[in-house]
Amino acid sequence: MMRPIIFCMAMIAFLFTQACQPKGKALPPMKTTVFGTLPDGRPVHQYTLENRSGASAQIIDYGAAVTSLKVPDRNGKLEDVVLGYDSLQGYVDGTSYFGAIVGRYGNRIGKGRFVLDGKEYQLTVNDGENHLHGGAVGFNKVLWEAMPPDSGEASLRLQVVSKDGEEGYPGTVTLRVTYTLTDKNELRIDYEGTTDRPPILNPTQHSYFNLSGAFDRPILDHLLMIEADGVTPVGAGLIPTGRITDVANTPMDFRKPMAIGTHIDDPDAQLALGKGYDHNWVLRGAAGRVRKAAELYEAGSGRMMTVFTDQPGLQFYSGNFLDGSAKGKNGIAYGHRSGLCLETQAFPDTPNKPQFPSVTLRPGQVYRQTTLYQFSTK
């Protein structure tokens, strides 16, 4: 009795999904290939998402890393706009977090130490005397479990389980990340995290963009606009002082589109500490609601990338530590500032800054983040 009803409902849902799709174009099936093999023999897969507009994203289950993102220029020419490696070895050995999901804590925690519910925790220290991007074996250095997509869009869901005590973090955390390449050329990233005891959680996406598609060129001519009136200035080791300062009359003022190279080498104390831009901007508007965070434009190709997020902060990192030693795709050495990151997240060192929006997750709560990188041309 129930079966025909369920069948009819499934048919109606299927026909509805079909009716909502652009006419005449079926979604290309997701391709899966073996990208490489880890030293312990486990295969790493690469998944290719292609949308109905011809754009594509490739993602590997190692580090949940985006390995390529091909979007059109103003003449419709598809080119890859993210830095990365041709082979798995690059991702296993690399120290630049190309394309990966980083965490549990994306960004820095001073001295790797914090107090939560009256107990002090010591995390792995892996960046001078501080903790960076989850420690020695963060989310970028583990094999995630890929799960079948559950929507009518080009999407891939990946899951990682981080056990209590890993890298010093309390609580077991299960994090799911869903990448969706929409037909509007948006790479949407939805995060969902749960726990069994209170941990801190602040994952982010660490793609390096170069919208020219020419990775031997620096990103200094890209125009950047950030929807922020304030930044969290840093002290030594790039740990925030805890204050929020106005961007007006400083090289941090990206309220109107400005070429990244305009002030990057100015004699400015904050720029000196970061060796360029490596700071957190305090985004306008209430966190928890997806709103526009930034715009990046490269005039040669006409490519524009608009970032939307529900996070309170945006770390703009201008690739200052790239020095040509990383040999990337097609054998290109990634030179100084040849890619830039726009990392949507909570503020750095929040566990030691009670005045910053909290990153504590409690059992029964669900950590959520939605971030979109939308590509267009002009």
Active site residue 206: yes
* Active-site residue, selected from the candidate residues 131, 133, 206, 222: 206
The site string for ligand BGC over 263-282 (x = CB under 6 A, - otherwise) reads ---------------x----
- Decide if residue 97 touches ligand BGC (CB under 6 A): yes
Residue 85 corresponds to which amino acid? Y
Active site residue 343: yes
Residue 121's contacts (CB-CB under 8 Å, 6 or more residues apart) are 113, 114, 115, 168, 169, 170
290-329 residues near ligand BGC, rule: CB under 6 A: 315, 317, 321
DSSP letters, 79-148, are EE-B---SSHHHHHH-SS-TT-EE-SB-SEEGGGEEEETTEEEEPPP-BTTBEETTSTT-GGGSBPEEE-
- The alpha carbon of 7 is separated from its chain's Cα centroid by a whole number of angstroms, namely 39
Query: Cis link prior to 243 (omega < 30° from 0)?
Result: no
Place of tokens 């709560």: 365
Q: How far is the CB of 131 from ligand BGC (least distance, A)?
A: 12
The site string for ligand BGC over 51-90 (x = CB under 6 A, - otherwise) reads ----------------------------------------
Q: Which is nearer to ligand BGC, 67 or 155 (CB)?
A: 67
Q: How far apart are CA 276 and CA 270, in angstroms?
A: 8
Q: Which is nearer to ligand BGC, 278 or 310 (CB)?
A: 278
- Decide if residue 343 touches ligand BGC (CB under 6 A): yes
17-56 residues near ligand BGC, rule: CB under 6 A: none
Q: How far is the CB of 68 from ligand BGC (least distance, A)?
A: 18
Residue 289 corresponds to which amino acid? R
- Decide if residue 139 touches ligand BGC (CB under 6 A): no
Q: Which is nearer to ligand BGC, 61 or 278 (CB)?
A: 278
Q: Indicate the DSSP class of residue 27.
A: P
The site string for ligand BGC over 215-254 (x = CB under 6 A, - otherwise) reads -----------------------x----------------
**Cα separation values, 185 from 48, 55, 57, 111, 340, Å:** 14, 7, 10, 40, 20
Provide the binding-site residues for ligand BGC, judged by CB under 6 A: 96-97, 238, 278, 315, 317, 321, 341, 343
Residues taking part in catalysis? 206, 343
